[in-house]
Amino acid sequence: MRPDGLRLRALGAEIDVVFGDGFTPELAAALRRAWSRCLDAEAAPVPDVTLPPGSGETPLAPNSAWRPMIGDAAPGALRASVRTAHAITSIEAESPERFASELTSTVTLRAIEARAGELLMLHAAALADPATGRAVAFVGRSGMGKTTVTRVLGAGWGYVTDETVALDRSGFLVPYAKPLSLIADDPGHPKRQIGPDDAGLRRSPHEATLGAVVLLDRCPDDDASADAAAGRPQVVELSHAEAVVELAPHTSSLARIDRPLAWLCSTLDAAGGAVRVRYRDARDLEALLPSLLDREPLHRAWASALQGPSEPDSGADCPAGADRGGGDKDAAANGGLVRRAQVVDAVTVTRGDGTEELLAMVGHCVLRLSGIAPTVWRALDTPLSLAGIAERIAPEVGLPEGYEASLAAAIDELESNGLVQKGMA
């Protein structure tokens, strides 16, 4: 008889892991310990079912029963299936270490897919203040030290995750206290999966909120500044425009969220803005965390760019490109209309000097434009000719002699970035 499987709750998603060929009670117990903080203690045991053949993913129709087919495994291989409400993924590995690594990757991907469009998810680690529940998110590409920071500081700070920081609409973090994935000494070996209990990590408070967003910049020993080398991390505040552009590549399923840029900006407001921290050793960050969490929330300095100039914050957004009426009646005589293209989201951010930047998400790409581009975008609340655009933006930016070339260049830039369409009848 096979050992009992695992019933996990990862990012709030229910995930079943069913053990198949090759599993001993001892190996199953080791995996259960590694995933102890993700076990769904209130759920019924995972049923003992047969597994689908080979490795891969099998979609499930909504509300369908789980009746996979029996298959043959390679001699000595470990096999299991990972099930969510929508799919079954089969895992096959030749060693316990590789299986544990594959399991972590599969559960993470399936959890992200299950919550796509519902949560704001950053590829980041997070530690929470045990007293207040306010957490620091450490964002960065591979090699910047997210898991190392978690392992080094997690004995005193509550462990939220070392992989995916997820927020719900109420502002609470959805925990994902998975096993830590530690790089093996041998580059040819998979990452080692160490459970948070075995790693000595403190439990996170029950309801944690995001209190700081840190983009990690770990410098090599031979490239450290004097401050970093002396154990004094360098902290640089980022504008919302800088932060959003840098954070976007570290998100999961951002384009599937309703108004993702607005959500990101609101999150940054609540966290007092994002900072970049250049450091050398993870231990040097511990003294910095309290000051990062003491940052005051920011007053809102951004606005939706999907509304028109007459409705700066109406809450009744018009889809990008939609005609509110009052468009350019002389368009035919002026070579056709320029109109907004469909975008996922767009916001304007006001800088400290009072100028604006436009952030727009087209497909999966976040664009950052300055100059008169934000003003032109705002003017195109209704489709306009070039002459109509000039007339509408004149009270805000003026029309200096020779403005036509600058305006045409701004329109060309917006068009090349997929933000407007020209020559529309």
Whether residue 251 is predicted with pLDDT greater than 90 in this model: the reply is: yes
Residues 180-235 pLDDT 10s: 999 877 777 888 999 999 999 999 998 999 999 999 999 876 565 656 556 789 99
Q: What is the pLDDT of residue 65?
A: 36
Of the candidate ranges 121-135, 201-215, 245-259, 297-311, the one whose mean pLDDT is the lowest: 297-311
Mean pLDDT score, 176-180: 97
Segment 115-141 shows an average pLDDT of: 96
What are the pLDDT digits (tens) for 284-301? 999 999 999 999 999 999
Arithmetic mean of pLDDT, 339-360? 94
Distance CA 275, CA 146 (A): 15
- Residue entry with tokens 């902290």: 235
Domain spans, the chain:
6-115, 120-299, 303-424
SS3 111: helix
Q: Residue 86's pLDDT band (boundaries 50, 70, 90)? A: confident
* Average pLDDT of every residue of the chain: 86
The predicted structure's pLDDT at residue 321: 34
The CA-atom distances, in angstroms, between 326 and each of 190, 237, 329, 383 are: 61, 42, 8, 9
Q: pLDDT band for position 66 (50/70/90)?
A: very low
Return the pLDDT at 184.
77
pLDDT at 221: 65
Exposed/middle/buried for 224, CB within 10 Å: 0-12, 13-18, 19+?
middle
* Model confidence pLDDT, tens digit, residues 335-346: 589 999 999 999
Instruction: Provide the CATH topology of domain 120-299.
Output: Rossmann fold (3.40.50)
Closest listed residue to residue 388, CA positions, set 342, 332, 343, 346 = 332
Report the alpha-carbon distance of residue 82 to residue 88 in Å, rounded. Answer: 6
Look at strands 202-203 and 158-161 and give their pairing: parallel
